[in-house]
C-alpha cells in the first residue's frame, strides 16, 4: 500500500506530453474523419451528403474516429478543465481527501448530455489518483460474467469507468451493488439446481459511472455513489477558451472574433466546439488564407447548417415539428420523435436538454410544449392563446 504522502505511481503526466504532435498524428491517422471537409465542400456537395453524414457535423455524439482525435484535445488534469467550476472543486476535494488517506475515493456518478466531459472527468480522476483506468460501457457488458471478469482482475485502487451505466443488464447491475459496497462478487459456477455462488474478494476500487439519463438509474445503484455530479451546458465564454486551447493544439490560426463566433454556435457543448473548429479550419485552409475570423466562421458554419444560436438540424426539426405540426403542443415525446424520424431517446437526450435550457421548449406533465421564443426563432408569430406556451404556467 502506498502511504498518504507517497507520490502517485504510474505516469499520468507523461500522457500530457506533446499533445500538439499527438493531435496532428491523430488527424493523419484518421483520414476518414475529415476527408470531406479537407477537400472543401461546395453547397452542392453539401446537398449531396446523406442526412447521417451531415448529422455527424453537429451531433454531440462521437463515433470511434472522432473519439480518437478527441483523445489529443482532452484535458489531462483537473486544473486543465475549463468551466464546470463547482464539479471541479468538489471533485478535487474528494480526490485530495482520498489521496491523503491513502484509500480509494467514493464511487462517482457523472450525469449530463453527451459531449460535456464525462469521459474526460473519468480519465482525469484516474490520472489525479495515479491509478490505472479500465474503461467499459453498459451495453458492452452483456452478462454478469463480463463484469466479473473486469472486477476480478482489478488492482488496488484502480478506477473503473462505465459509460452509459443506465444501460447495464440487470444481473450485471446486481453484481455491481455488492462489488461497490463490499468489494466482493459472487461468481456462479455450474447451472440449474447444482449451481453454487462462490464469493470472490476484489480489490478496493473506484467506480466512475456516466449517464445521459440519470433518471433511469435504479435507486439502489444511485445510492451507492458517494459523489454525484451533474454536468451542465457550457457558457459561450468558456467554450471560447476551449476553442482557443484546441486551436493551439491543432495549430489553427484563430482570431479572437473567430473563436467567439464558433463558441456561440457550439450548442454549449465542447465536443461540438472542437468539431466546428476543425470544420471551419478546413474551410479557412481551402477557401481562404487559413486564418479563422468571425466572417469566415459565419460563412463556414452557415454551410454546415449551424444557426446563430447554435441550433443544429435536429434541434430545428424538433422545434419546427412541435410548432407547425402540433400547434406548439403539448405533444408526447414518442410522437414528436416519429415526426422527425428519430429515436425517442435521441430526441430526449440530444435535442431536448438544449432546447429546454435555451427557453425554446418546456416539458409539462401532458407533453412537450413550445414557448413563444420557439416561434420567434423560426421566424413565426407566436399564437395569441395564452395558456399554451407561457413558461410560468408549466409544471416543474
Ligand atoms: P462525454 O463523455 O460527456 O460525452 P467527453 O468527455 O468525451 O464527453 O468530451 C468530449 C470532448 O470535449 C473531449 O475530447 C474534450 O476534448 C472536450 N471537453 C469536454 N469537456 C471539456 C472541458 N471542460 N474543457 C476542455 N475540453 C473539454
Torsion angle (degrees, nearest 10) of CA 127, 129, 134, 138: -100
Half-sphere exposure of 45 (CA within 13 A, CB side): 10
Report CA(77)–ligand 1 centroid distance (Å): 12
Query: Residue 375 and residue 373: Cα distance in Å, rounded?
Result: 5
- Nearest CA to 270 among 299, 252, 244? 244
pLDDT band at 249 (very low <50, low <70, confident <90, very high): very high
Report CA(271)–ligand 1 centroid distance (Å): 6
Report CA(267)–ligand 1 centroid distance (Å): 13
Please tell me which residue, 12 or 392, carries the higher pLDDT value.
392
| Residue 211: strand, helix, or coil | strand
Q: Which of 74, 118, 267, 368 is catalytic?
A: 118
pLDDT of the residue at 4: 38
Cα 40 versus chain centre, distance: 28
pLDDT of the residue at 24: 38
271 included as an active-site residue = yes
Question: Could you report the per-residue pLDDT of 74-114, keeping only the tens digit for each?
Answer: 999 999 999 999 999 999 999 999 999 999 999 999 999 99
| Residue 358: strand, helix, or coil | coil
118 included as an active-site residue = yes
Q: Which of 56, 157, 163, 282 is catalytic?
A: 163
Report CA(98)–ligand 1 centroid distance (Å): 25
pLDDT of the residue at 55: 52
Contact 185, 157 (CB under 8 A): no
13 included as an active-site residue = no
Flag the least confident range among 213-217, 278-282, 331-335.
213-217
Single pTM value for the model: 0.80
When pLDDT is averaged across residues 126-140 and rounded to a whole number, the result is 95
79 included as an active-site residue = no
| Cα–Cα–Cα angle for 311, 359, 214, rounded to 5 degrees | 85
Look over the chain and give the mean of its residue pLDDT values, rounded to a whole number.
83
Q: Which of 271, 279, 313, 363 is catalytic?
A: 271
- Residue of 74, 82, 126 to mutate, ligand 1, most atoms within 8 A of C-beta: 74
Domains of the chain with CATH codes: 12-230 (3.40.50.300), 236-303 (1.10.8.60), 313-377 (1.10.10.10)
Residue 303 pLDDT > 50 = yes
Nearest CA to ligand 1 atom 21: 117
Half-sphere exposure of 135 (CA within 13 A, CB side): 10
Residue 135 pLDDT > 80 = yes
Q: Which three cell numbers stand for residue 246?
A: 484546441
Which residues are near ligand 1 (CB < 6 Å)? 70, 73-75, 81-84, 114-120, 210, 242, 270-271, 274
Query: What proportions of the chain, in percent to the nearest 5, are helix, strand and coil?
Result: 55, 10, 35
Q: Please report the atom of ligand 1 found closest to the CA of residue 123.
A: 6
Report CA(341)–ligand 1 centroid distance (Å): 28
Residue 354 pLDDT > 70 = yes
Question: Could you report the per-residue pLDDT of 177-197, keeping only the tens digit for each?
Answer: 999 999 999 888 888 888 888
Residue 124 pLDDT > 70 = yes
Nearest CA to ligand 1 atom 4: 115
Q: Is 240 left (phi over 0), alpha (psi -120 to 50) or beta?
A: alpha
Q: Please report the atom of ligand 1 found closest to the CA of residue 71.
A: 14
Query: Residue 94 and residue 367: Cα distance in Å, rounded?
Result: 39
Q: Is 139 left (phi over 0), alpha (psi -120 to 50) or beta?
A: alpha
Residue 167 burial (CB count, 10 A): 17
Question: Could you report the per-residue pLDDT of 227-241, keeping only the tens digit for each?
Answer: 999 999 999 999 999
Query: Residue 115 and residue 60: Cα distance in Å, rounded?
Result: 5
Query: Residue 115 and residue 184: Cα distance in Å, rounded?
Result: 33
Residue 169 pLDDT > 90 = yes
- Residue of 271, 350, 354 to mutate, ligand 1, most atoms within 8 A of C-beta: 271
pLDDT of the residue at 58: 57
381 included as an active-site residue = no
pLDDT band at 246 (very low <50, low <70, confident <90, very high): very high
Amino acid at each position: 500500500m502506498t502511504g498518504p504522502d507517497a507520490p502517485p505511481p504510474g505516469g499520468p503526466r507523461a500522457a500530457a506530453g506533446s499533445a500538439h504532435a499527438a493531435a496532428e498524428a491523430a488527424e493523419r491517422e484518421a483520414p476518414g474523419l475529415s476527408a470531406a471537409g479537407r477537400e472543401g465542400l461546395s453547397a452542392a456537395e453539401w446537398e449531396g451528403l446523406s442526412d447521417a453524414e451531415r448529422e455527424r457535423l453537429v451531433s454531440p455524439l462521437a463515433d470511434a474516429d472522432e473519439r480518437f482525435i478527441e483523445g489529443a484535445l482532452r484535458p489531462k488534469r483537473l486544473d486543465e478543465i475549463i468551466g464546470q467550476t463547482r464539479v471541479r472543486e468538489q471533485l478535487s476535494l474528494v480526490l485530495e481527501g482520498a489521496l491523503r488517506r491513502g484509500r480509494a475515493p467514493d464511487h462517482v456518478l457523472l450525469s449530463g448530455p453527451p459531449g460535456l466531459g464525462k469521459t474526460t472527468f473519468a480519465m482525469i480522476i484516474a490520472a489525479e489518483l495515479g491509478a490505472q483506468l479500465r474503461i467499459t460501457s453498459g451495453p458492452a457488458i452483456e452478462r454478469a460474467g463480463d463484469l466479473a471478469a473486469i472486477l476480478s482482475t482489478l488492482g488496488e485502487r484502480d478506477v473503473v469507468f462505465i459509460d452509459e451505466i443506465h444501460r447495464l443488464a440487470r444481473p450485471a447491475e446486481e453484481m455491481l451493488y455488492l462489488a461497490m459496497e463490499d468489494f466482493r462478487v459472487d461468481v456462479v459456477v455450474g447451472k440449474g439446481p447444482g449451481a453454487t455462488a462462490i464469493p470472490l474478494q476484489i480489490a478496493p476500487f473506484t467506480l466512475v459511472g456516466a449517464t445521459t439519463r440519470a433518471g433511469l438509474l435504479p435507486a439502489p445503484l444511485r445510492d451507492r455513489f458517494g459523489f454525484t455530479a451533474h454536468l451542465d451546458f457550457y457558457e459561450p465564454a468558456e467554450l471560447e477558451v476551449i476553442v482557443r486551447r484546441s486551436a493551439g493544439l491543432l495549430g489553427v490560426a484563430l482570431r479572437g472574433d473567430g473563436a467567439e463566433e464558433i463558441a456561440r454556435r457550439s450548442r454549449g457543448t465542447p465536443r461540438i466546439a472542437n468539431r466546428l473548429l476543425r470544420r471551419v479550419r478546413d474551410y479557412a485552409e481551402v477557401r481562404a488564407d487559413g486564418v479563422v475570423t468571425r466572417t469566415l466562421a459565419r460563412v463556414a458554419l452557415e454551410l454546415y447548417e449551424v444557426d446563430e444560436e447554435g441550433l443544429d438540424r435536429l434541434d430545428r426539426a424538433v422545434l419546427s415539428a412541435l410548432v407547425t405540426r402540433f400547434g406548439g403542443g403539448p405533444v408526447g415525446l414518442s410522437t414528436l420523435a416519429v415526426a422527425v424520424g428519430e429515436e425517442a431517446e435521441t430526441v430526449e437526450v440530444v435535442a431536448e436538454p438544449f432546447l429546454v435550457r435555451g427557453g425554446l421548449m418546456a416539458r409539462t406533465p401532458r407533453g412537450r410544449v413550445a414557448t413563444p421564443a420557439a416561434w420567434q426563432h423560426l421566424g413565426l408569430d407566436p399564437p395569441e392563446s395564452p395558456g399554451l406556451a407561457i413558461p410560468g404556467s408549466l409544471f416543474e
